[in-house]
Amino acid sequence: MGQALFYHLTQRPLEATLAMLLGKSLQRGWRVAVRGPDEGRLHWLDQKLWLGPEEGFLPHGLAGGPHDADQPVLLTPGEALPNGAACLITIDGAAVSAAEVDTLERVCILFDGHDPEAVQQARGQWKGLTGEGAPAQYWSEESGRWEMKAES
C-alpha cells in the first residue's frame, strides 16, 4: 500500500519542487510518471527539466513517443503509466484515485498555495482519497522548509 503526499507550494516554484521530488524518487530506484491535465504545461516542464544543472540531470521524456516504456520519468496527460511508474506526481489538479495510491509506492500531489482554486481542489482530493481509506500526509513549506502538518 502506498501513500499520498500533498505538497502545498508557497515558497519554491513548481519546477524546483518537482525536480527535488524526482531526484529523490530516482535515487530510490523508482520510475516516475508526472501527470498534468495540460499538454502545453507538460512541454514547459520538459524544457525546464532539460535546462537544469548538469549534475542534477533528470532523464525524462514526454508521453506519446516510441520509448515511453523506457523513460525513468514520463510527463503525461493520460491516466496510463506506460513506464511502469512506482511513483506518480500530479500537478495542476490532475486526477488521482485511491486505487492508484494503493498500488503505487507513492503519489505526490503538488498544488499552488497562491491559487485559491488549486487549494480548494487539493482539499477535495484530500477528502476524497482519505475518505476511501488512502493514507495521506499534508506538507507545507510556509516556514521556508518542508514540514508535515497533517496525516490521515
Q: What is the DSSP string of 41-58?
A: HHHHHHHHHHTS-GGG--
Q: What are phi and psi for residue 111, nearest 5 degrees?
A: -145, 150
Q: How many Cα neighbours within 13 Å face the side chain of 68?
A: 16
Global pTM value = 0.95
The CATH code of domain 4-151 reads 3.40.50.10110
- Residue 7's pLDDT is 98
| Torsion sign (Cα): 23, 28, 112, 71 | positive
End-to-end CA distance of the chain: 14
Answer left, alpha or beta for residue 109, where phi above 0 means left and psi between -120 and 50 means alpha: beta
Pairing of β 32-35 and β 73-76: parallel
Average pLDDT, the chain: 94
- Read off the pLDDT band of 133 (50, 70, 90): very high
- Residue 6's pLDDT is 98
> What integer is the mean pLDDT of 117-131?
97
> Per-residue pLDDT tens for 7-53?
999 999 999 999 999 999 999 999 999 999 999 999 999 998 887 76
> Per-residue pLDDT tens for 86-108?
999 999 999 999 999 999 999 99
Question: For the chain, which residues make up each domain, given as ranges?
Answer: 4-151
Contact 63, 78 (CB under 8 A): yes
- Residue 57's pLDDT is 82
The residue with greater pLDDT, 83 or 143, is 83
| Torsion sign (Cα): 99, 126, 22, 43 | positive
